[in-house]
A and B are shown apart, each in its own frame.
Chain A
Amino acid sequence: MKKSINIRGGRVIDPASARDEVSDVYVADGLFTSSPVEGAVEVDARGLVVCPGLIDLHVHLREPGQGAKETIETGTKAAAAGGFTSVVAMPNTQPVADHPGIIAWMQERAAAVGVVNVFTTGAITVGSQGEQLAPIGAMAAAGIVAVTDDGRCVQNHELMRRAAEYCGMFGLPVMDHCQDASLAGADALMHEGYWSTMLGLPGWPRMAEEIIVARDALLAEATGTRFHCQHLSAAGSVRILREARARGIPLSGEVCPHHLALTDEALRDYDTNFKMNPPLREQTDIEALLGGIADGTIDILATDHAPHAPYEKEVEFSAAPFGILGLETAVGLFCELLLHHYRAIELPALIAMLTANPARLLGLDRGTLAIGRPGDVTLLDPAREWQVDKNAFASKSRNTPFHGRVLRGQAVRTVVGGDTVWAVDS
C-alpha cells in the first residue's frame, strides 16, 4: 500500500511532544495514525532512532537558472540521502525568486520532480538588490514561508525596517544573511585574522556579521516581526542573540555544520572548497557557537547547501564562488560534533533543532510525529560510522571539504508522507 508504513520497535523521539520511548510509528495514506496499518510496508527499527522528518531551512536548489550546479530534482534527492524530508529553498536563483510567478514555477517543478517537500522563500527586495521591496504580499499568497535576500544583506536599515513591518502583516519571518557591506564588501574572501594576513586575502571580519545581528535585534524589537539570523559564524553574534532572546525579542539564529567543523587555517592552501560565506572562523568562535547551541540561544541547525559546478570552483581563489554542499553530510557532522566530539547536547535536543524548531519558526505543519500530521519520518543511527564519499553523492555537485572524512551518525531511511524515498544501501 502506497503512502503507508509501520515502523516498529525504534527509539521514538518527538521533541514537539517531549516523547522519547521505544515504540512504533504508523503512517496511513500519508498521515500519522495511532494503530498499525494493514498491508503497509513493515520496517524493523530496533536499534534505530525514529524521529520526525528532518527539516533544512537553508538550501540552495539552484533552479531556476543554475542547473549546472543543482536542480530541484538532484537537490531533493540529496536531501533525501541526507535524511531530510523538507527543505526550504533560498530565492537567489536566476532570475531571483522575487515574484509570485517564479515561486509558483518552483512549486510546480518541486511537485513534479521533487522527492522531498520543498518550501519556498521570496526575496525581500527586487532582485535582492536591496533597493525596493519585492511583492511580498503576492508571494505570501503564492505560499512562501519567509523572506530573505540570502547571499546578500539589505544594507539600508530604513528599508529593512519597512520590510519587517510589512512582513508582520502576513506573519512572515525575515531571514537575514548578516553581512555589513562596508565592513565586509564584495572583495572580502575569508575570516579576517592571522591566516588572511599571511595569505594576503582580504578579510571578512566578525564585526561585519555582529553589527547586522545587532541591527536585526533592534528591528525585531521595534517591529515585533520575527527575525532569523542565518548561518551564524562569529562569537559576538551569539552574545548579541543571547541578550536579545533573554529580553524576549523575537530573534533566532542557525548554525551550519562547517562553522562547527573547520577553522580558517583550512584555507592555507587556497582550496576553494573551504571558501564560504560567512567564512570559516577560529576555534574561539566554534566554542561560542557550541555554547549558544548548548544553552538554547541557537535553536536551529541548517546546512546552507550551496552546490557549485567543478569548473566554477576550480579557479584562482578570488574568482571562486562561495559555498559548499551540506545536505548529505549534515547529519553525520552534527552527530559527530555535537553528540560525540564536543558532547554539547543530547540527541533529543539535536533532533528538535532539525525538526520542531524550524517548523515553529516557519509555521510548517511538520516537524512532529503528531497523529494526523503529514507522515514524514527519518530513521537515524546516531553511532553508525561511515566515510564521506563525494562521488557517491546524489547532488549534482561535488564541492565538499569533507570528502574522505569518517563520521559517526547517519540517517538510514527517509520517509516522506509514508513513502520511503531513500534508505541506506538501497
Chain B
Amino acid sequence: MNWTRKDLHALSVLSAEEINLVLDTAAEFKGVGQRRLKKFPSLRGKTLVNLFVEASTRTRTSFELAAVRLSADVVNISASASSLSKGESLKDTAKTLEALAADLIVLRHSAAGSAQFLAERLRAGVINAGDGSHEHPTQGLLDVFTIRERLGRVAGVKVGIVGDIRFSRVARSNLEALTKLGAEVILIGPSTLVPREFARSGARITHRLDDVLGELDVINLLRIQHERQRAGYFPGTGEYASFFGLNAARARRLKPGALVMHPGPINRGVELDGSVADGPQSVILDQVTNGLAVRMAVLYLCGSVPPPEDS
C-alpha cells in the first residue's frame, strides 16, 4: 500500500494497513541501522522543526536523532524560547516556521487536538509528539513495534495497561494501535482514573490488577503523576503502589515470557519496582531503541508526501 498522509496527528485515523506499513518500514530501518549508525539520504535538504511547547527530553531527542539519521536539518524550539511566550498564537508561530521553509513540524503541546489543528492549516507535515491527554502516536507505534518484535505477533496478544488511563495520551495511542491490530487490551487502574467509557472502544476494564496478572502477555505501566493525587483521584502513591504497583512479588506471578513495558520516565517504587524495571522481562530500553526506528519511519513516510496544492 501507499502512504498518503503528510501528517501523523493520531492513530485513531489510521487503518491497520497503515499502522503495519509504519511498523514494516521501521523494521527495515532498524535492520539496516544495526550495521553501525548508518545515515540515509531520504530527507536531505529538508528541514524539521521540533516545536516543543511542553517540556520533553526523551521524545525530542529521539525525533532529533531520527531526523539526523535521515539527513534532515533540525531546529529545536521550546516554549520558553519561542514567541508563544510573548502571546503569539500557535497558528501564527507555526505559519512563521513554515514561511521559514520548515517541511516537517514535530509538535508537543498541552492542548488536546493541537496537532490536528496545525495539520489542517499548514502545508508542512505535522507529527504529533503528544497533545495533552489525547494521543502520542509514535509512542503507541513503538510500543506495538516492540511487542511485535518480541512476541512475533500482535493479534491475539493480551496487553494490560496499568495506571492513569484517564489522562494518558500513551494509553489512548496504545489502545488505538493494539485494537486495530487485533490485540486484546485490558485497562487497569483505580476507578477514578479508568473511565468506563473506554469499554465502548473495545477495551476490557478492571480495577483488580491481581485478578488479571497471570493472563497478560504484556504489562505496560504508565507513569503516575503526583498532581492527580492533589486533585483527589487517589489518596496517595503508597496506596496506589499497594494495589497497582508492579513489585517483585507481583512480577513473579507474570507468565514467564510476559513483557514488562514503561514509556518512561519511571517512578521507581510507585508503578514499578526497580528490580522489575531492570529485570529479565523488562523491555523498557528496547522501547527507547525502537522509538528511534519508528520515528525514522514516520518522518520518512510523511516527509515523502508532497505538500498539498494551494487551493
Mask, B146-169, CB within 8 Å of A = 1, is 000000000000000000001101
Find chain B residues with CB under 8 A from A197 CB. 166, 195, 197-198
User: In the complex, what distance in Å separates the CA atom of A314 from the CA atom of B92?
Assistant: 11
User: In the complex, what distance in Å separates the CA atom of A316 from the CA atom of B134?
Assistant: 13
Give the distance to chain A from B52, nearest Cβ to Cβ, in Å: 15
Find chain B residues with CB under 8 A from A315 CB. 89-91, 117
* Chain B residue total in the interface (Cβ 8 A): 26
Give the distance to chain A from B28, nearest Cβ to Cβ, in Å: 32
Q: Is A222 an interface residue (CB 8 A)?
A: no
Given contacts A194-B197, A200-B169, contact A318 B134 (CB under 8 A): no
Mask, A302-337, CB within 8 Å of B = 1, is 000000000100111111000000000000000000
Mask, B102-139, CB within 8 Å of A = 1, is 00000001111110110000000000000111110000
Task: Please name the residue on chain A nearest to B196 by beta carbon.
Answer: A197
- Taking each of A194, A196, A311, A316, which has the highest tally of chain B beta carbons within 10 Å of its own beta carbon? A316
Give the distance to chain A from B184, nearest Cβ to Cβ, in Å: 19
Interface contact A200-B197, CB-CB below 8 Å: no
Find chain A residues with CB under 8 A from B311 CB. none
Q: Is B36 an interface residue (CB 8 A)?
A: no
Interface contact B90-A200, CB-CB below 8 Å: no
Interface contact A198-B12, CB-CB below 8 Å: yes
Interface contact A316-B135, CB-CB below 8 Å: no
- Taking each of A194, A269, A270, A319, which has the highest tally of chain B beta carbons within 10 Å of its own beta carbon? A270
Interface contact A317-B111, CB-CB below 8 Å: yes
Give the distance to chain A from B126, nearest Cβ to Cβ, in Å: 12
Interface contact B169-A270, CB-CB below 8 Å: no
Interface contact A200-B195, CB-CB below 8 Å: no
Give the distance to chain B from A311, nearest Cβ to Cβ, in Å: 8
Given contacts A194-B200, A198-B172, A200-B134, contact A270 B112 (CB under 8 A): yes
Give the distance to chain A from B109, nearest Cβ to Cβ, in Å: 7
Interface contact A199-B112, CB-CB below 8 Å: yes
Instruction: Count contacts between A and B, CB distance < 8 Å.
Output: 60
Interface contact B169-A317, CB-CB below 8 Å: no
Given contacts A200-B132, A200-B133, A270-B116, contact A318 B91 (CB under 8 A): no
Given contacts A197-B197, A199-B112, A200-B132, contact A314 B169 (CB under 8 A): no
User: In the complex, what distance in Å separates the CA atom of A270 from the CA atom of B13?
Assistant: 14
Task: Please name the residue on chain A nearest to B176 by beta carbon.
Answer: A198
User: In the complex, what distance in Å separates the CA atom of A315 from the CA atom of B88?
Assistant: 11
Q: Give residues 163-184 of B contacting A (CB, 8 Å).
A: 166-167, 169, 172
Interface contact A318-B172, CB-CB below 8 Å: no
Find chain B residues with CB under 8 A from A200 CB. 112, 131-135, 167, 169, 172
Q: Is B201 an interface residue (CB 8 A)?
A: yes
Interface contact B198-A316, CB-CB below 8 Å: no
User: In the complex, what distance in Å separates the CA atom of A199 from the CA atom of B169?
Assistant: 9
Contact of B114 among A193, A194, A269, A316 (CB under 8 A): A316
Q: Is A201 an interface residue (CB 8 A)?
A: yes
Which bracket fits the contact residues of A?
10 to 19
Q: Give residues 119-135 of A contacting B (CB, 8 Å).
A: none
Task: Please name the residue on chain B nearest to A314 by beta carbon.
Answer: B91
- Taking each of B12, B109, B111, B131, which has the highest tally of chain A beta carbons within 10 Å of its own beta carbon? B111
Give the distance to chain A from B172, nearest Cβ to Cβ, in Å: 6
Interface contact B197-A316, CB-CB below 8 Å: no
Find chain A residues with CB under 8 A from B111 CB. 316-319
User: In the complex, what distance in Å separates the CA atom of A166 from the CA atom of B143?
Assistant: 62
Given contacts A198-B172, A316-B111, A319-B111, contact A269 B116 (CB under 8 A): yes
Give the distance to chain B from A186, nearest Cβ to Cβ, in Å: 13
Find chain A residues with CB under 8 A from B89 CB. 311, 315
Task: Please name the residue on chain B nearest to A198 by beta carbon.
Answer: B201
Task: Please name the residue on chain A nearest to B12 by beta carbon.
Answer: A198
User: In the complex, what distance in Å separates the CA atom of A104 from the CA atom of B84?
Assistant: 40
User: In the complex, what distance in Å separates the CA atom of A199 from the CA atom of B114?
Assistant: 11
Find chain B residues with CB under 8 A from A314 CB. 91
Give the distance to chain B from A255, nearest Cβ to Cβ, in Å: 25
User: In the complex, what distance in Å separates the CA atom of A311 from the CA atom of B90?
Assistant: 11
User: In the complex, what distance in Å separates the CA atom of A392 from the CA atom of B79?
Assistant: 40
Mask, B7-31, CB within 8 Å of A = 1, is 0000010000000000000000000
Find chain A residues with CB under 8 A from B131 CB. 200
Find chain B residues with CB under 8 A from A193 CB. 197
Q: Give residues 267-325 of A contacting B (CB, 8 Å).
A: 269-270, 311, 314-319
Given contacts A198-B12, A200-B172, A316-B90, contact A270 B200 (CB under 8 A): no
Task: Please name the residue on chain B nearest to A270 by beta carbon.
Answer: B113
Task: Please name the residue on chain B nearest to A201 by beta carbon.
Answer: B112
User: In the complex, what distance in Å separates the CA atom of A194 from the CA atom of B197?
Assistant: 5
- Taking each of A200, A201, A318, which has the highest tally of chain B beta carbons within 10 Å of its own beta carbon? A200
User: In the complex, what distance in Å separates the CA atom of A260 from the CA atom of B135?
Assistant: 30
Find chain B residues with CB under 8 A from A269 CB. 113, 116
Mask, A60-82, CB within 8 Å of B = 1, is 00000000000000000000000
Contact of A318 among B12, B112, B167, B169 (CB under 8 A): B112
Interface contact A199-B134, CB-CB below 8 Å: yes
Find chain A residues with CB under 8 A from B135 CB. 200
User: In the complex, what distance in Å separates the CA atom of A319 from the CA atom of B111?
Assistant: 8
User: In the complex, what distance in Å separates the CA atom of A317 from the CA atom of B133?
Assistant: 13
Interface contact A316-B133, CB-CB below 8 Å: no
User: In the complex, what distance in Å separates the CA atom of A199 from the CA atom of B200?
Assistant: 14
Instruction: Across the A-B interface, give the 7 residue pairs with the lowest CB-CB distance, nearest first.
Output: A270-B113, A200-B133, A200-B134, A316-B111, A197-B197, A200-B112, A316-B114
Q: Contact residues of B with A, CB < 8 Å?
A: 12, 89-91, 109-114, 116-117, 131-135, 166-167, 169, 172, 195, 197-198, 200-201
Can you sample 21 A-B contacts with CB below 8 Å?
A194-B201, A196-B197, A198-B172, A198-B201, A199-B112, A200-B112, A200-B131, A200-B132, A200-B134, A200-B167, A200-B169, A201-B132, A201-B133, A269-B116, A316-B117, A317-B112, A317-B113, A318-B110, A318-B112, A318-B113, A318-B132
- Add 17 more A-B contacts to A316-B111, A318-B113 (CB < 8 A): A193-B197, A194-B197, A196-B197, A198-B172, A199-B113, A199-B134, A200-B131, A200-B134, A200-B135, A200-B167, A201-B113, A201-B132, A269-B116, A316-B109, A317-B112, A317-B114, A318-B112
